[in-house]
Amino acid sequence: MPDLLLPTRAICDRARIARDARFDGSFFTAVRSTKIYCRPVCPARAPSARNIVYYSTAAAASAAGFRPCLRCRPELAPHAHLHGGDDATARALALIADGALEQESVAALARRVGVSDRQLRRLLLARAGATPIVVHATRRLLLAKQLLTETSIPITQVALAAGFQSVRRFNTAFLEGCGMAPSKIRRQRGAAPRGIMTLRLAYRPPLDFAAMLTFLARRVISGIERVGPDSYERVIGPANASTWIRVSADATRHELRLEISDTDARVIPVIVRRVRRMFDLDADVRIVHESLLAHPLLAQAIAARPGVRVCGGWDGFEVAVRAVLGQQIIVAGAATLARRLVHAYGIQRTTAFEGLDRAFPAPETLVDAPLETLGMPMSRATTLRSLCRAVLKQRIDFRAGQRLDSFVERFVALPGIGPWTAHYVAMRALSHPDAFPAGDLVLQQVLGGAQRLSARATEAVSQAWRPWRAYAVMQLWLMANDRSKEKRDVVR
């Protein structure tokens, strides 16, 4: 069965020979003579072309009997970027990446994406070169390999982090998948520093990390998170068992550095997934730009900022609350309301980190709270309480793999929620690549030029950019921000 995600042989050959980082994770090079698979950026001596076979995913190479290279470390590669976010395959892979198969069967996963389990296996074999179980197993083994290499976590804890309840089972699976025992990997890589662990998170260049920090800084929630000139920090987890994280850019590699304080090893995969999603590290901007460059404004924006990506949020409920607070007011006003909300109802953390001493209030805390006293209109307080009730009754959730139209339909059914809020939340909480808040005033003004467009006209213009409209939103918002800065500089 053909692997539909795999670039052509000629493209793979050129990218491999050039060690082109833009193709990192888009395919893997497997060598028949050594039974090892590598990233296209592998620094090792190039193998003979006749011994090479290409696979679109690490899971596909693993299923064919190849093991990961110790030198280029395939566990660091960004994941394959599917074309769009609403087809069954894309949604299934998003759910697997979010840990769905840790708790449920393939049949249950198939029901969630609306196909039979047999059809799901067939789709993933065609699109990703491996079955759902192999995709899941490869992901957790590669995470284990990274933890063994980069941290000092005991092997028993690495096994738990990778989803194994038995160290014996973990050792067997690791030996089969990686060609050596976990203890041998640990010995070969040497001792990792203790205390704060640091993990490497690769991406395909370009990535405009500075622009993402600027975007997050304007929306920062005081007490929960902090954005510096070159990093993002927050404290997560229960108030009585806090974990600190910090994300910064590596100056020498196409990677972000994720620092994590001492924590339960089982939450490490969740942290890694959320950081990758928040900074959109698996995006392939080459593919995205193909749909956007035909529009003159977007071509201009991409030329100025080619590394712009969709900037997500850490927690779906947090993003949704923040979006409701921001309805019909400026960004700074919404940040003020968010700060008041957190300081009024957020639990004080027992382990204080300087400036990061609160846990975001849970829906059960806010559902009956007198939110009007924070300085917001009664209608907005009512909307927030309705959102909390919907989350508590599981009518609304923020899990990966949801269809955009289905999520928007459920979200706008809540009182006080319109399409703008629903699409904004889908973009930042679900990381849906095609979310597009057509009612956004800034988008209407930028696209309309001298005459602001209507929401309907804005929506019509956006159809040519599907399924990557969320990337257009980010580009146009940043373009508008840059223009407003230029105007202020002229006034000064």
The 10s digit of each residue's pLDDT in 264-305 is 999 999 999 999 999 999 999 999 999 999 999 999 999 999
Fold of 288-305+433-492: Endonuclease Iii, domain 2 (1.10.1670)
**Is this model's pTM higher than 0.75 or not?**
yes
Binned at pLDDT 50, 70 and 90, residue 484 comes out as confident
Predicted pLDDT at 192: 61
Binned at pLDDT 50, 70 and 90, residue 188 comes out as confident
Predicted pLDDT at 353: 81
Phi, psi dihedral angles at 276 (to 5 degrees): -60, -40
Share of the chain above pLDDT 90, in %: 83
Note whether 119 and 111 are within 8 A (CB).
Answer: no
Predicted pLDDT at 2: 46
Over range 193-207, report the average pLDDT: 90
Rounded CA-CA distance 195/193 in Å is 7
Predicted pLDDT at 426: 97
Reply yes or no on whether 262 is catalytic: no
144: left (phi over 0), alpha (psi -120 to 50) or beta: alpha
Note whether 29 and 51 are within 8 A (CB).
Answer: no
Predicted pLDDT at 80: 77
Predicted pLDDT at 398: 95
Note whether 386 and 410 are within 8 A (CB).
Answer: no
Binned at pLDDT 50, 70 and 90, residue 461 comes out as very high
Least confidently predicted of 345-349, 401-405, 422-426, 479-483: 479-483
Binned at pLDDT 50, 70 and 90, residue 203 comes out as very high
Predicted pLDDT at 491: 32
User: Among the options 3, 284, 434, 440, which is catalytic?
Assistant: 440
pLDDT digits 0-9 by tens, 381-430:
999 999 999 999 999 999 988 999 999 999 999 999 999 999 999 999 99
Note whether 400 and 97 are within 8 A (CB).
Answer: yes
Predicted pLDDT at 466: 94
Predicted pLDDT at 481: 87
Predicted pLDDT at 3: 53
Predicted pLDDT at 490: 37
As to burial, measured by CB atoms within 10 angstroms (0-12 exposed, 13-18 middle, 19+ buried), residue 89 is buried
Tell me which of 203 and 492 has the higher pLDDT: 203
Binned at pLDDT 50, 70 and 90, residue 82 comes out as low
User: Among the options 3, 12, 24, 38, which is catalytic?
Assistant: 38
Reply yes or no on whether 405 is catalytic: no
Rounded CA-CA distance 165/74 in Å is 25
Over range 162-183, report the average pLDDT: 93
Binned at pLDDT 50, 70 and 90, residue 332 comes out as confident
Over range 210-220, report the average pLDDT: 94
Least confidently predicted of 90-104, 249-263, 418-432: 90-104
Predicted pLDDT at 463: 97
- Is the per-residue pLDDT at 488 higher than 60? no
Predicted pLDDT at 128: 86
Predicted pLDDT at 459: 97
Predicted pLDDT at 230: 97
Over range 345-355, report the average pLDDT: 85
151: left (phi over 0), alpha (psi -120 to 50) or beta: beta
- Is the per-residue pLDDT at 81 higher than 80? no
Residue ranges of the domains in the chain?
Answer: 288-305+433-492
